[in-house]
């Protein structure tokens, strides 16, 4: 029972970061009605840039974090321009394929510049842990969890209690109608890319710090986790992304303990498949809307 509780707590901690990755995908999809497959590599570029500066120029955690966020935003804007605004086709596949191609380009740039080397990322809380009764909690996971909760609350407030949020939701509901009532849809799209890239870069930096490293495989990892969370939670649903992330984190950790690490991904994908068949809208999704 104690192990079950420990796995659950660890799963919640890990799941909070999954939730934010899923949130990045779901917000972009909610507004663009297109899948941004280069989201993972975008935030990976940011973390690599931050880690590079920290390693070779000036070893400051805050500077590295600021650069990670800034570079993620810049790359995110390039992706928005190249893969979404420039690709005017009504077929969402066109943007998806374009974003996939950009994923490959970004990953190859990193590999060409670094030989595929892993870069160290400073972990502010080191290897510290603290206990809640018999349960052990990692200091860095707890910090990541708190940061994720604050960000999620902030994003929720932004979306549901501000004029910007109303525009975003209007564009997400119906792009053409939003345009008809005078909303600058392209501007909202750009702003959503800035927002998702910024918090993606922030979260990716803390995830990388918890691993003490950033690897060229991070983009793929973040993409897979984010997509699963988006589907589990329900495409376009902010609370759904949170629930999906926590669910995935808990199930993964329990699977590793009770079944074995080799089955963890298998179970995660089986769960995804199950949702797609039984509940394609996900936990809190609203189903298809017209664009």
Q: Which parts of this chain interact with other proteins (CB under 8 A)? A: 3, 6-7, 10, 14, 108, 111-112, 115-118, 120, 127, 129, 136, 138, 207, 211-213, 215-217, 220-221, 252-253, 256-257, 260-262, 265
Is the alpha carbon torsion for 5, 254, 20, 33 positive or negative? negative
Report the run of H or E that residue 214 belongs to, with start and end. Answer: strand 213-214
Q: Please, what is the angle between helix 61-79 and helix 185-211, to 10°?
A: 140
Strands 213-214 and 129-132: unpaired
User: Which of 92/120 has CB closer to other proteins?
Assistant: 120
Strands 119-120 and 129-132: unpaired
User: Which of 88/262 has CB closer to other proteins?
Assistant: 262
Q: What is the phi/psi pair of residue 130, to 5°?
A: -140, 160
User: Which of 98/254 has CB closer to other proteins?
Assistant: 254
Smallest gap from residue 226 Cβ to other proteins (A): 14
Smallest gap from residue 258 Cβ to other proteins (A): 9
What are the tokens at 154? Answer: 């902030």
Cβ partners under 8 Å of residue 255, min gap 6 = 263, 264, 267, 268
User: Which of 80/252 has CB closer to other proteins?
Assistant: 252
Q: Where are the beta strands (DSSP E) in 51-141?
A: 119-120, 129-132, 135-138
Smallest gap from residue 100 Cβ to other proteins (A): 17
Smallest gap from residue 257 Cβ to other proteins (A): 5
Smallest gap from residue 46 Cβ to other proteins (A): 17
Smallest gap from residue 134 Cβ to other proteins (A): 12
Whether 48 contacts 114, CB under 8 Å: yes
User: Which of 156/221 has CB closer to other proteins?
Assistant: 221
User: Which of 137/194 has CB closer to other proteins?
Assistant: 137
SS3 181: coil
């Amino acid at each position: 029972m104690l192990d079950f509780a420990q796995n659950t707590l660890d799963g919640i901690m890990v799941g909070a970061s999954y939730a934010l990755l899923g949130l990045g995908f779901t917000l972009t999809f909610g507004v663009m009605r297109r899948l941004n497959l280069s989201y993972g590599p975008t935030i990976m570029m940011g973390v690599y840039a931050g880690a590079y500066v920290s390693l070779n120029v000036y070893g400051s955690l805050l500077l590295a974090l600021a650069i990670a966020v800034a570079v993620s935003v810049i790359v995110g804007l390039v992706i928005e321009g190249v893969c979404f605004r420039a690709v005017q086709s009504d077929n969402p596949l066109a943007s998806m394929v374009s974003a996939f191609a950009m994923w490959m380009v970004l990953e190859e740039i990193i590999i060409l510049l670094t030989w595929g080397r892993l870069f160290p990322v400073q972990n502010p809380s080191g290897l510290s842990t603290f206990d809640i009764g018999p349960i052990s909690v990692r200091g860095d996971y707890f910090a990541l969890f708190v940061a994720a909760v604050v960000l999620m609350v902030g994003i929720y407030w932004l979306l549901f209690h501000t004029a910007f949020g109303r525009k975003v939701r209007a564009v997400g509901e119906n792009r053409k109608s939003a345009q008809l009532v005078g909303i600058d849809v392209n501007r909202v799209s750009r702003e959503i890319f800035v927002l998702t890239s910024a918090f993606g870069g922030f979260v990716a930096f803390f995830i990388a710090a918890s691993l003490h490293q950033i690897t060229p495989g991070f983009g793929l990892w973040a993409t897979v986790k984010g997509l699963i969370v988006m589907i589990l939670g329900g495409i376009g649903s902010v609370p759904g992304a949170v629930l999906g992330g926590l669910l995935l984190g808990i199930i993964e950790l329990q699977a590793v303990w009770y079944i074995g690490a080799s089955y963890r991904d298998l179970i995660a994908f089986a769960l995804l498949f199950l949702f797609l068949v039984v509940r394609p809208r996900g936990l809190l999704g609203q189903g298809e809307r017209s664009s």
